[in-house]
A and B are shown apart, each in its own frame.
Chain A
C-alpha cells in the first residue's frame, strides 16, 4: 500500500455514535424548517400562480395571490409573441446555454488551479496576492464599470461572446471559496505523500485534490451557472444574434399589463435550468460525504 492509499482510504463506519437527533426529533425539525422555509418559497409560488392567471385576473387590483380560474393561455401566447423577433428563439437559447456553460467551466478550472497554488504551493508573494484577490471582493462594482468598458473595447471583445465569458473567469469569490475549502479539507500530509509517491503537481491537484473538494466546486458550479444564466449585458452586446434569453424575454415585460401573463411565463421558464443545476449540485455535495474519509 502506498502512502497515499494509507492516508486516503475509504471511510470506515465509525463505532462511536454521534449526538444525533432521534427520529421524532428529526420529524419535528423537518416540520419546523419546512414551515419556516414555506415563507421563502412565496415568490416562486406567486410567479407560478400568476403565470396561470387569465387576463381579467391579471388586471385585478390588488392582485390576488392565488389564481382562481387557471388557464394555459399565457403559455400558448408566448411562442406567438416571440415569433416576430429578428432571430429564431433557439439561437437565444443556445447563446444562454453556451455562455453559462463555457464561463462556468472555465471559471471553475481557473479558480481551482489558482486556489490550489494559494493553498498548497509555497510561492513568493502568494499570501499577498491572495489577499488582493480576497479584498477585491469588497470593492464596489459601480465605479468599475467605466474602466472595464474601456478595457473591453481596447482588447476588442465588445459585441462578441468573449465579453460575457472572459470577465467571468477571474471572479474572486470562486477562488476564495476553493482556497478556503482546500485549507480546511485537504491535509498538507496528503500532498507531501503524493509528492513522495512521485505524482506531479498537476496530477496531485487534478486526481487527488479536486475529488476531495468536490462539494466546493459543485457549490461554485451553481453560483456561477445561476449568475451567468441570468446575465443581461449593459452596453456591451449589440448584435441581435449574440443576445441572451433573459435579455430578450425581459422585453416582454415592457409590453404592459396585457403581456404581464406571458412575461410571468417567461420568468417561470427561465427559472427551470438553475433549479435543475441546483438539484444536481446539491445531490453531488451530499454524495461526496461518504467517499472522502481523510485521516490526518
Chain B
C-alpha cells in the first residue's frame, strides 16, 4: 500500500506537482512582500493613521474627503492625466519605432545606438538635473542665455515657475528619460520574431516595410507590446520626484504637481497615512482603467 501512495505521489510530482514547486519561491515571497503590504495599505485607507498612534477606523471618510473636501485634488488629477495621456503614448510609440529601427543594424552599431538612447535611464540617479542648469530661470541658464543673445527675448524666462511652459518642459524631459524598460523589452521582443514568418508574408502579399511592421512584426510580438504598455502606464503615473526637484513642490499654482508627489506630501510631511493610502487606491484604479483600455487597443493590432 505504502509503495502505491509513493508511486502516485511521484507521478503527481512529475506532472502538476512540480509546477507548484516551481511557483513556490516566487509566489511565497511575492505574497509576503507585495500582497500583504498592498492589502494592509488598502485597509489603512479606511483609517486615520498618523504613524505614531494606532490607526483609527473611520470608514469611508478618506474617500469622501477626496470628493468633498480636497480643493486641490482636481488640479492634481488634471495634471496627472494630462501628463500621462501626452507622455505615455508618445514615449511608447517612440520606444517601439526606435527599437524597430535599431534592430536591423549589425551588432556593434546596434549596441552603440541602444546605449545612447538608454543612457538617461541607465545613468539614473540625478542625471536629469542637467536640465535644471539648462532651464535655469536666471540669464545664465543655457536656454535663457542663448535666447537672450539671439535677441529673441529681453528678459530671462522663469521656465519651471511659469505655468505656461513648465508642463511642456517636463513632458520633454520625461520623454528623454523614458527609453528604458519598454524600449529594451521591445528590442529583445524583436529578436523573437520568426524569420520564416516573413517568408510566408511575402507570399501573402506584404508590399512594403510598413506593411511588414503592422501585419507581421507587431502582431507576433503582441505579448511583449502588452508588457511595454503596462510598464509605460506604471512609469507615467509614477512620476513625481523628478518634477518636484525641478519645479519645486508645491509648484506655482500646483501647475505640475502630480498625484504621486501629492501622496508623498500627504503621507510624508503631513503624516496623514490613511488619506495617502486612499489616494494610492485612487491612483491604482486610474492605472487599471488605462490598463484595460490599452489591452483592448492592442487587440486591434494587425487588423
Chain A positions within 8 Å of B, measured between CB atoms, are: 11, 14-16, 18-21, 26, 29-30, 33-34, 36-44, 46-47, 61-63, 65, 109-111, 113-114, 116-117, 121, 123, 129, 132-144, 146-148, 150-151, 155, 166-167, 169-170, 172-173, 175-177, 180-181, 183-185, 200-202, 205, 215-216, 218-219, 222-223, 226, 230, 267, 271, 274-275, 278-279, 282-283, 285-286, 288-289, 293-296
Chain B residues near A132 (CB-CB < 8 A) = 35
**Would you call B267 an interface residue if the criterion is a C-beta within 8 Å of the partner chain's C-beta atoms?**
yes
CB-contact partner of B191 in A38, A176, A222, A286, under 8 A: A286
Q: A110-B29, A173-B181 are in contact. Are A184 and B283 (CB under 8 A)?
A: no
Q: How far is the CA of A205 from the CA of B122 in the complex (A)?
A: 31
**Would you call B154 an interface residue if the criterion is a C-beta within 8 Å of the partner chain's C-beta atoms?**
no
**Is there an interface contact between A133 and B30, defined as CB atoms closer than 8 Å?**
yes
Tell me how many residue pairs across A and B have CB atoms closer than 8 Å. Answer: 265
Q: How far is the CB of B216 from chain A (nearest CB, A)?
A: 10
Chain B residues near A167 (CB-CB < 8 A) = 29, 33
Mask: chain B, 237-279; 1 = CB below 8 Å from A; 0 = not: 1100000000000000000000010011001000001001100
Interface centre among B33, B136, B198, B280 (most CB of A within 10 A): B33
**Is there an interface contact between A43 and B233, defined as CB atoms closer than 8 Å?**
no
**Is there an interface contact between B196 and A42, defined as CB atoms closer than 8 Å?**
no
Q: How far is the CB of B182 from chain A (nearest CB, A)?
A: 10
**Is there an interface contact between A181 and B192, defined as CB atoms closer than 8 Å?**
yes
**Would you call B115 an interface residue if the criterion is a C-beta within 8 Å of the partner chain's C-beta atoms?**
yes
**Is there an interface contact between A286 and B107, defined as CB atoms closer than 8 Å?**
yes
Mask: chain B, 124-152; 1 = CB below 8 Å from A; 0 = not: 11011010010010101110010000000
Q: How far is the CB of B281 from chain A (nearest CB, A)?
A: 9
CB-contact partner of A20 in B51, B104, B263, under 8 A: B104
CB-contact partner of B110 in A113, A170, A184, A286, under 8 A: A286
**Is there an interface contact between B230 and A137, defined as CB atoms closer than 8 Å?**
yes
Chain A residues near B5 (CB-CB < 8 A) = none
Chain B residues near A39 (CB-CB < 8 A) = 176
**Is there an interface contact between B125 and A230, defined as CB atoms closer than 8 Å?**
yes
For B276, give the chain A residue with the smallest CB separation. A143
Q: A123-B20, A184-B189, A226-B122 are in contact. Are A140 and B195 (CB under 8 A)?
A: no
**Is there an interface contact between A288 and B191, defined as CB atoms closer than 8 Å?**
yes
Chain B positions within 8 Å of A, measured between CB atoms, are: 14-16, 18-20, 22-23, 25-27, 29-30, 32-38, 40-41, 44, 51, 98, 101-102, 104-105, 107, 109-120, 122-125, 127-128, 130, 133, 136, 138, 140-142, 145, 176, 179, 181, 184-185, 187-189, 191-192, 194-196, 198-199, 202, 206, 208-209, 212, 220-224, 226-227, 230-231, 233-234, 237-238, 260, 263-264, 267, 273, 276-277, 280, 283-284, 287-288, 291
Q: A18-B198, A43-B127 are in contact. Are A113 and B23 (CB under 8 A)?
A: yes
